[in-house]
Structure formats: structure tokens, C-alpha cells
Amino acid sequence: MPKPDLRPHFRLDRRRFLHAGTAAAGLLLLHPFSARAAAGQAHLRILSTTDLHVHVHAYDYYADRPNNTMGLARTAAIIAAIRAEATNTLMVDNGDYLQGNPMGDYIAYSRGMAEGDVHPVIAAMNTVGYDAGTLGNHEFNYGMTFLERVNARAEFPIVCANFARSLGASPRQDALWLPPYVILERELTDGAGTRHPIRIGLIGFVPPQIMQWDRAHLEGSFAARDILEAARAWVPEVREAGADLVVALAHTGISAVPEAAMLENAALHLGGVEGIDAIVSGHSHRVWPSADFKGEGLDEAKGTLMGKPGVMAGFWGSHMGLLDLMLEKDGAGWRLAGHESAARPIYKRNEDRSITPLVEDVAAVIAATAAAHAETLAYVRAEVGRTAAPLHSYFALVADDPSVQIVSLAQIWYVAGMLKGTPHEGLPILSAAAPFKAGGRGGPEYYTDVPAGPVAIKNVADLYLYPNTLQAVRITGAQVREWLERSAGMFNQIVPGQPDQILVNPEFPSFNFDTIDGVSYRIDLSQPARYDLAGKLANPDAHRIVDLAWNGAPIDPAAEFVVASNNYRASGGGSFPGADGSTVILVAPDTNRDVIVRYIVEKGTIAPAADANWSFAPAGGATVLFDTGPTAAAYLDDVRGRGVAIEPAGDGEGGFARFRITL
């Protein structure tokens, strides 16, 4: 456990990584607060990162290629440039540094953390030079011993006021795991060049939902308290201890919901806590100030949360959070006389969606993590598990498919663990998943294709294309049926008995073709689609989903089910019945991709044999034509084994291969 570091820091020490020619140097103009500060007034710039998730290099390890939207090595260039011109700066991190990309998984699952080891994200942060940090919810993902060893090498204090070994009768009697706050004794240089002492209090908070999300690591030995309750108890003590200024390092998002117990996203209401001067927010992976958040108490123009300056710096190093505070001498102390907030991006997205980097890597940050980067590259390219079946999506639109099955198996496994001890435990868990790479406009090569044998981490990006997070909904059997009806709009209506009809409607995106595992059903293509392309009920009398069964019997329309899916679908993406946001019962902190990696690591060998839980209903011997990638021919026996009467039918257009299916 790190001891609070109360030594005065001098900003010049922190510039060791700043080299002449840093690209960001030209970005910044002297801030008006610095220009305006008079004797007895000082401009303090609080710089922040949040949700780094081990992103140090501008590199997407899943895709195994450079990516200019991420990396503390880039954010560090903005930090260096501001330090070079600012009189008074403080650098803080807001948590979620430890987990969330293959470098983090490599250290946790492969290299390990012996006592004394320096974790690469800590090596990078120590190189940048931080004054303080707090815990995010993901810090607990690899267990407490791991976290202890990581934090032991942080050259800055880490604080958290609502995470404890056990709770007392009131927050200040909690047996906290870390110091709740730290008071940094610094000197501020005022507008006349005179130095004055200042005591800056930094207090940390983590979402109490960690007790659910990391139950396996925390239950029985740790406890978390409501963020606002902890803040109202501890902030007065920070003041009593002599802090001139109190800044909340709040690993919690911004949400304009009314105050309630155990809020996950409590940053707005922290603005209403007396004694807090400014809030560094995070957790939501969004940006404040920006149009990302709207609602009562939020002022985008001023960057305020209930009137207090706030900032949220995106995620993965995408932005640097900047709180510009104008402080005025107030007797022996200081008072906040003015403020501005901004999140400074490391890249811009152009109109054609291309990315232009705004800064270059800081060489010292790259150098501090070069070995870990090289080892991570080897790790993502090496075997982490094996698959007994080839994982390909060539036939994912016409038969139950192993590339979709593996996603569902991992999702069901994960959700079952997450729902233990909740009111939803014991409900049947289904999983909805769609083939993301299924040809179409992506072309005849655009398929998932992982052969049987070793699976590498980088293959998981191929299995799950989007960085979605996992969510689950609780819906009825009737809603399950309608969800599948919406999916079945993928196909054209087929006339029974007629030859060579075109099967797939090319206007329907494959990512909206959810199949649901855990139930069995057939799709009757002789019926028109019940829902149109936009998800509107178009043919109220049509029913394509037939023989829908759960547990071997017709599904009970009133029975309740949990359906594992993703944040896009659960919040209304694709307009699926039962998935409009109101039915969500689990907002998981993990990406679906991470869930698949964990599943493969846990199982060692996976055997995602498709269970043929869905198929087309017979249509009087009608034949349909289906285009897929030419490599599909190698897997023809495989899909025939799943009950599909399929044969080659020559070439399709644009390099696709054509197949004929008899219904």
C-alpha cells in the first residue's frame, strides 16, 4: 500500500521527459488567467488523465496495428507542453489504469507481477510524473495482491475514500484500504512572481458497484460505500486538516439522474457537496465539457457540475483534462476566484472519418515501456487457447455458426457469474449475438476465419469486431419472439416450391441479424418480414419465427428470461423489441471482447460446436441463392453437417461465390 507522498514537488523536476521539438509545443497559447493574475492571484492548472486502461502506446493490439486515437505517450506531449509554459501545474489520474487492453492482460495472465515489479502503465505514469491518483473499478479485475504490487511502485499517492476492508458505523469509521485523501503542500507563484504556500486536498472515489462486478475478488474481505455519503463525511475533514482547495478524483461518470443511494455515476452530485472545489470525472469514457452530457445542473459552456468546475478526459489517453483555476489569496489561504474546463484531444477526426494526430509520442514514455510493448506484441500473436472447431462466419446467415456460438457461450458464462446474488439469479440466461463480419459491402474477404487449432488474442478482434460493452436485459418469452422476428427481416420473402430465389436482403446489415442461443426456433421464409428495415412493425399478421422452444417445450410468452447482448443493442440500437434501454438489468464494466478473451483463457480449449438451435423451415423444395466468400467452399461439409442442404452454384457478383440451398 503506497504511503501518501507529502514531499513538495517542483515542477521543473517533472519536465525530465520533455524534449525540444515536442509536437504539442506549438499548440498552446498563454492562458488568459496567467496573463491576468496579479499579485496575490495565482493560476493553477490541474492536468488529468482518466480511464487509461493500459493504453500507453498509440497501438491497437487487437488489430495489431498503430492507432492514433490512443496512448498516454501522446497525451504526455500535451502535458509537457502545458508544463513548459504554465507557472503552476498539478498532474492527476482518475483511475482505470490497470486493465482494458492486451498489455494489461499480458501482465496479468502471462508475465505476472512479482513483488517489486513495475507495471508498464505505472512505469509510463512515473515517467510522466503524477502528483496523485485514485482507483477505478477495473483496478480490482486481477485481484488484490496484483493491485497491491502494482500500486507499490507508483511514485505518487493513490487515494480512495469509499473502498474499505470493512465498513464502520459511519464513513469516517470505515477501515479504508487506502488513505481517503492526501493534502499536497506546494508553492504557488502568483502574478507578481512571489511564491506562496498552498495545501491542495485530493480525495478519491470509486463506483460502489465494484462489489458486484468483482465479487469474486472482493466478497467477504472488502466493502464499498456510497460515493456521496463518503464525500459528505470526509470532505469536511480535508478542510479541517487545512486544505485550501479540495479536488475530487472521482472515478464516476456524469449523469443528470436525481440523487439516489449507491449511484454509479455521481459526479454531478459531487458538485453539490459543500467543500469540494472541483471535480475530475471519468468512468463513462466520454468528454466533459462537451455535448456528451446534458441535463439540469450541467453547464457545458462553463464546464460546471452543479456550479463547480469539472472535467472528463475521454478514455485510453484520447484527451487530457484541464481545469484552469484562478486562485486569490484569502487571509492565510486561498479561494477560487474563477475557472475554466477543457478536454484537449490528441487527435482530430476528419469529415471523411480519417484520423489526424495532433501530437507526437513523447520518447521517454515510449522508452519506459518499450520492452512491455514488444512482449505484448508477441503475446497477442501467440496462442492463448485452442479451438476444436474452425471459427468462421461464411455461413453465419444461413445456419447456426461457431463464430457466433463462441460469442454466445462467453456471454452466457459471464452473465451467469455477474448475476449471482442478484434478484435475477436463477432466470434462464439466453444470449443474442450477430455476425459482424459477413461479407456484404465489406466484400468477399470480409469474414471471420480462424482455423481450428491455436487461438491468438488478436483473433478475438476478428470474432468481435466492435468495442461494445456487455449488457443484459430481462424480457418475456413474447419479447424474445419479437426480437427474433426483427432479426428475421434479414431475408427476402420466399415463394414455396419456386427455384433460385435470392435469400438475403442486401439492405439489412448483418450486425442486426441477432441469433439467440438458449432457445431453439425455425424461420419460415414464406411469410413476409414482420418488421421493416428500420424495425417498425410492418406486417402485423406475419410470423416468421416458428417452433420457438425453451428447454424442449414451446416457450411461455409470459416467462421471464435474461438475454446477454451489448450496450448498442440493449440501449435501443437497431430498434429491437424488448431492447429499448428500459429492460437493462446488467450494465457490465467489460467489453464483449474482454469477456471472450477471459472465457478462452479460463477454458484453455474451447469447443464452440454450433448446436444448430435455429434453421430455416422447409418451403416445399424451394431453392434460394446465397452469396458468400469463396473460401467458404472448404467448409461446405461442415455446414451440411448442421442440416443445411447446400451446393455450389457458380460465381456471384464482385468476387463472391454463390451457393444454392434447398428448403
Binding site for Mg ion (CB under 5 A): 400, 405, 517, 611, 613
Residue 517 near which of Mg ion, Mn ion, none (CB within 5-8 Å, type-dependent)? Mg ion
CA distance 409 to 417: 13
Closest approach, Cβ 481 to Mn ion, in A, equals 36
Select 287 or 548, whichever has its Cβ closest to Mn ion.
Answer: 287
Select 448 or 566, whichever has its Cβ closest to Mn ion.
Answer: 566
Residue 485 near which of Mn ion, Mg ion, none (CB within 5-8 Å, type-dependent)? none
The angle formed by the CA atoms of residues 207, 210 and 215, to the nearest 5 degrees, is: 165
Closest approach, Cβ 89 to Mn ion, in A, equals 24
CA distance 226 to 203: 14
Closest approach, Cβ 281 to Mg ion, in A, equals 41
Select 31 or 251, whichever has its Cβ closest to Mn ion.
Answer: 251
Select 55 or 329, whichever has its Cβ closest to Mn ion.
Answer: 55
Closest approach, Cβ 159 to Mn ion, in A, equals 18
Which 3 state secondary structure label does DSSP give 555?
coil
Closest approach, Cβ 105 to Mn ion, in A, equals 15
Measured CA to CA in angstroms, residue 293 lies from 172, 247, 281, 317 at distances of 32, 21, 12, 20
Residue 594 near which of Mg ion, Mn ion, none (CB within 5-8 Å, type-dependent)? none
Select 400 or 590, whichever has its Cβ closest to Mg ion.
Answer: 400
CA distance 208 to 217: 14
Residue 237 near which of Mn ion, Mg ion, none (CB within 5-8 Å, type-dependent)? none
Closest approach, Cβ 315 to Mn ion, in A, equals 6
Residue 565 near which of Mn ion, Mg ion, none (CB within 5-8 Å, type-dependent)? none
Identify whether the C-beta of residue 319 lies closer than 8 Å to the C-beta of residue 287: yes
- Residues 17 to 76 in contact with Mn ion, rule: CB under 5 A: 51
CA distance 229 to 172: 10
Kind plus residue range of the DSSP H or E element containing 42: strand 41-49
Closest approach, Cβ 412 to Mg ion, in A, equals 11
Measured CA to CA in angstroms, residue 233 lies from 136, 228, 237, 261, 608 at distances of 20, 9, 7, 15, 51
CA distance 515 to 506: 18
Select 210 or 622, whichever has its Cβ closest to Mn ion.
Answer: 210
Given strand 545-550, what is the order of strands in its sheet?
Answer: 553-554, 545-550, 520-523, 614-616
- Residues 89 to 108 in contact with Mn ion, rule: CB under 5 A: 96
Closest approach, Cβ 380 to Mn ion, in A, equals 21
Residue 51 near which of Mg ion, Mn ion, none (CB within 5-8 Å, type-dependent)? Mn ion
Residue 638 near which of Mn ion, Mg ion, none (CB within 5-8 Å, type-dependent)? none
Give the count of residues interacting with Mn ion (CB under 5 A).
2
Select 51 or 174, whichever has its Cβ closest to Mn ion.
Answer: 51
Select 517 or 594, whichever has its Cβ closest to Mg ion.
Answer: 517
Closest approach, Cβ 253 to Mn ion, in A, equals 9
What is the bridge-based pairing of β-strands 163-166 and 223-224? antiparallel
Select 55 or 392, whichever has its Cβ closest to Mn ion.
Answer: 55
- Residues 592 to 631 in contact with Mn ion, rule: CB under 5 A: none
Of 95, 94, 97, which is closest to residue 46 (Cα–Cα)? 94
Q: Which residues pair with 438 in a beta bridge?
A: 447
Residue 613 near which of Mg ion, Mn ion, none (CB within 5-8 Å, type-dependent)? Mg ion
Measured CA to CA in angstroms, residue 328 lies from 6, 189, 275, 611 at distances of 23, 11, 17, 69
DSSP 454-515: EEEHHHHHHHS-S--EEEEEEEEHHHHHHHHHHHGGGB----TT-SSEE-B-TTS-GGG--E
- Residues 145 to 184 in contact with Mn ion, rule: CB under 5 A: none
Q: What is the DSSP letter of 437?
A: -
CA distance 57 to 71: 5
End-to-end CA distance of the chain: 65
Q: Any idea which residue has 475530475 for its cell?
A: 280
Residue 611 near which of Mg ion, Mn ion, none (CB within 5-8 Å, type-dependent)? Mg ion
Closest approach, Cβ 470 to Mn ion, in A, equals 14
Select 62 or 521, whichever has its Cβ closest to Mg ion.
Answer: 521
Q: Does 590 participate in binding Mn ion (rule CB under 5 A)?
A: no
Interface with Mn ion by CB under 5 A: which residues? 51, 96
